[in-house]
Structures are given as C-alpha cells and as structure tokens.
A = this chain, B = another copy of it.
Amino acid sequence: MPSLAERARELDAIDPLADRRKLFDLDDSVVYLDGNSLGAPPRSVADRMTEVVREQWGRRLIRSWGEGWWTAPERVGDRIAPLVGAAPGQVVVGDSTSANLFKALVAALRMAEGRKEIVVDAATFPTDGYIASSVARLMGATVRAAALDALELTENTAVVLANQVDYRTGRAYDVGAITSEVHAAGALVLWDLCHSVGALPVDLDAHGVDLAVGCTYKFLNGGPGAPAFLYVPQRLQDSFDQPLAGWNGHREPFAMAPEFEPSSAIARGRCGTPDILSMLALDAALDVWDGVNITDVREKSLALTGFFIDCVDSLVGSRVSVVTPRDSTRGSQVSLACEDAQAVMDALIARDVIGDFRPPNVLRFGFAALYGRYTDALRAASTLADVLT
C-alpha cells in the first residue's frame, strides 16, 4: 500500500487542474487553506490594477465611464453567471453580500404579499440573520430560524434564506430539493452562495431558484472585500422591487429625473456608483476560470478534502473530530473540532499552514481546487499532528 506521501505526489501528478496553480501568485512555502475566507490573488490582478489606474483612470479620466466602467456590474455578472448556472442578464455585481441580502429580502417580502415570515437557515453566517431581523422590523414581518432539514414552512412563510454550504461545518445542502420544498409551500427561496460559488455546481436556473446572493472574495478570488453579486432570474425581474433604489438602478440614470423608475433589466439591482477598482480587480481575477468546468472543480474538491480527511484520520486520529460530512454532502472545506482551537490555529499559522478558527472550537481548512495540492493537504495534516503532540 502506498504511503500518504506517495499517494499525495501521485494525485498531484495526475490532477487535471494542476496547471491552474501557476495562474496564482502564491508562495510555495505556505500551505494556504483559507481560500474559503480570502481567495489567493490571481497573477493577472496586479497588472490589471496598474492599467486601470494609470491608463483608464489616468489617461481617459471621466471618459472611461463610457468605455466599459458603467456597464461593468452587468458584464462581470455575466462572467459569474455560468459558475452558478445562470443564463446571461441575471447576475449583477456590486455592494456587499449584506447589502444584497437586504435588497433581496425586502423584494421577496413585497412579492409574497400577505405572507410575513422570513425563515432563516439556523446555521447561517450571522450577517444573514442580522439583515433578516432588520428587514423584518422595517416590513412588519417575523424571523424564524430553522434547520434546513426541518424547515416547517407555513402559509405565512414568505421567503426562506438558505446557505448552500454551512460556513462552520462545511456541510452542503441540496439546492434542488430545498427549492422544491419551499416552492411547494408557496414561498420564495433566497440562496446565499458565499461558501459555494466557485467550489461546486449551483444550477440556479435549472432548479428554478428565485433569488441568490454571493460573495466573490472566497473561491472566486476577487480580492479582499470584492463586490458581491445578486441573481434575479428574468421571470422575476419586473417584480423585483428593491429598497436600495439609488440612481444606478434607474431606467435612465443620466436623465437625472426627479422620480425613480427602475430599469427593466438586472440593473435594477444596482444602487449607487460601483466601486470600479475592486470590480475590475474581480474581472481580472475571473480569468482563471476561462476554460474550467465547474464539475471538474467539484471532482477535485471532493478528492482533495477526502484525502485531507484520510490524512487527518491517519496522522491526527482522535485528537480532533471531523465535523464535516465524510460523504459527498460537503462543500470545499474540512472543519475539525478540537480543544483550544484558537491556539492550535495560531500555532499552525506560525508554521505557515494557514486555515482559520471559528468559535467555539472549530479549525477550518478550505481547499480551492484551482490552486490546492494534495501534498499541501498532507503537510497540513502532519503539521497539525505535530502541533497537537
């Protein structure tokens, strides 16, 4: 039986996505397993930023708004669309995930006239719950937290806000099945894709999803705080009545009309002037996806996280417990529970194995299929074994 080291080298050697790693600016001395929090920089970003600042801003000045800047939110959205299974014209980039959740939840309550309950995934990243509470307060609605496998929807449920991947445990949920369940109850579903976009297939159009948001700085590698995205399918765009109705979402923004009339397209999801530097950094970062099939990404992600779990089982054993599902119902991270998890993670980082800590006791290791290596997974597990000795 080959050793873990032999297996790791062989898996790297036959990895069909191995060539992608050279598109990233990463030190080989560092094992970077926090791409589920901040993706690594694609090499193209730094030069693109220089060009945007010196040429587009410096030489073309205000004229650049008419030479690609104004339409960047929809154009970059159309580059993300295939990664989430959306046809063009349904994804717009801008603002933060929290702000887009706010837009989408208010719009959903307005669509679901009469129904007044927001159901929030009980395991959600906290901002989703905070925003849901804020929206409920403004709209005279209520918020109920529920596990995604025990939703208990009622005739009063307007919208279910669900995370495709649990940020803490790494468990992945079935978008199709949950969407169908929500629709059967007459409610709308809003998917938060922060921990799944770029890591596994989403198929928004195919599943008839109503609304979705996601961030671009994790598996999409768009840069720290890169603008988020909002998905509104064609069939709902006319009824998408969102509250951050700034001038960018107007039908004719440069008419400077006193009354707001929303754009008839996905642009109605826009609010104020988009952050162009961050938007075009993301645009450059998306180049690493050219020619990549998301099913290949998923295949490698499962293999890589599975191999890491094997290494942890062999080398670390019962000193940690694997929180992430061992079957295929996981995203692209492995979470391990252990005592003193914060101190353990600090020690790992001091040894150049970078994951992160999530309270109360979770070590998270994110695996990005475009730059992750099996040898790195092994090194992470063996460093963890050292730290825990």
Q: Using CB atoms and an 8 Å cutoff, list the residues of chain A in contact with chain B.
A: 25-27, 30, 32, 34, 37-38, 40-41, 45-46, 49-50, 53-54, 57-59, 61-65, 69, 95-99, 102, 106, 125-127, 129-131, 133-135, 137-139, 145, 215, 217, 223-228, 243-248, 250, 254-258, 260, 271-279, 281, 349, 354, 356, 358-359
Residues on B with C-beta less than 8 A from A96 are 95, 246, 271-275
Question: Are A131's CB and B225's CB within 8 A?
Answer: no
Least CB distance, A74 to chain B, in whole angstroms? 15
Q: Give 6 pairs: A residue, B residue, CB < 8 Å, sorted on A.
A: A41-B58, A46-B50, A98-B244, A126-B250, A223-B276, A226-B275
Question: Are B244's CB and A99's CB within 8 A?
Answer: yes
Least CB distance, A289 to chain B, in whole angstroms? 19
Known contacts A96-B246, A246-B99, A38 near B62 by CB under 8 Å:
yes
Least CB distance, A353 to chain B, in whole angstroms? 12
Residues on B with C-beta less than 8 A from A58 are 25-26, 40-41, 46
Question: Are A98's CB and B272's CB within 8 A?
Answer: yes
Question: Are A49's CB and B38's CB within 8 A?
Answer: no
Name which of A137, A281, A359 has the most chain B CB atoms within 10 A of its CB: A281
Compute how far the CA of A223 lies from the CA of B138 in the bound complex, rounded to whole angstroms: 34
Known contacts A134-B245, A245-B134, A274-B225, A53 near B61 by CB under 8 Å:
no
Known contacts A46-B54, A260-B134, A247 near B99 by CB under 8 Å:
no
Compute how far the CA of A340 lies from the CA of B30 in the bound complex, rounded to whole angstroms: 61
Residues on B with C-beta less than 8 A from A356 are 62
A279 touches which one: B26, B137, B225, B243 (CB < 8 A)? B225
Question: Are A46's CB and B38's CB within 8 A?
Answer: no
Compute how far the CA of A226 lies from the CA of B69 in the bound complex, rounded to whole angstroms: 13
Question: Are B102's CB and A358's CB within 8 A?
Answer: no
Residues on B with C-beta less than 8 A from A226 are 275, 277
Task: Across the A-B interface, give the 10 residue pairs with the lowest CB-CB distance, nearest first.
Answer: A96-B272, A98-B246, A98-B272, A224-B276, A127-B247, A130-B260, A46-B53, A275-B278, A225-B275, A225-B276
Question: Are B37's CB and A246's CB within 8 A?
Answer: no
Question: Are B223's CB and A57's CB within 8 A?
Answer: yes
Question: Are B41's CB and A45's CB within 8 A?
Answer: no
Least CB distance, A358 to chain B, in whole angstroms? 7
Least CB distance, A263 to chain B, in whole angstroms? 12
Question: Are B50's CB and A65's CB within 8 A?
Answer: no
Residues on B with C-beta less than 8 A from A271 are 96, 98-99
Compute how far the CA of A217 lies from the CA of B64 in the bound complex, rounded to whole angstroms: 14
Least CB distance, A61 to chain B, in whole angstroms? 6
Question: Are A281's CB and B354's CB within 8 A?
Answer: no
Question: Are A277's CB and B49's CB within 8 A?
Answer: yes
Question: Are B217's CB and A273's CB within 8 A?
Answer: yes
Residues on B with C-beta less than 8 A from A63 are 349, 354
Least CB distance, A140 to chain B, in whole angstroms? 10
Compute how far the CA of A114 lies from the CA of B271 in the bound complex, rounded to whole angstroms: 29
Question: Are A130's CB and B277's CB within 8 A?
Answer: no
Question: Are A225's CB and B54's CB within 8 A?
Answer: no
Compute how far the CA of A278 lies from the CA of B126 in the bound complex, rounded to whole angstroms: 25
A53 touches which one: B49, B102, B125, B126 (CB < 8 A)? B49
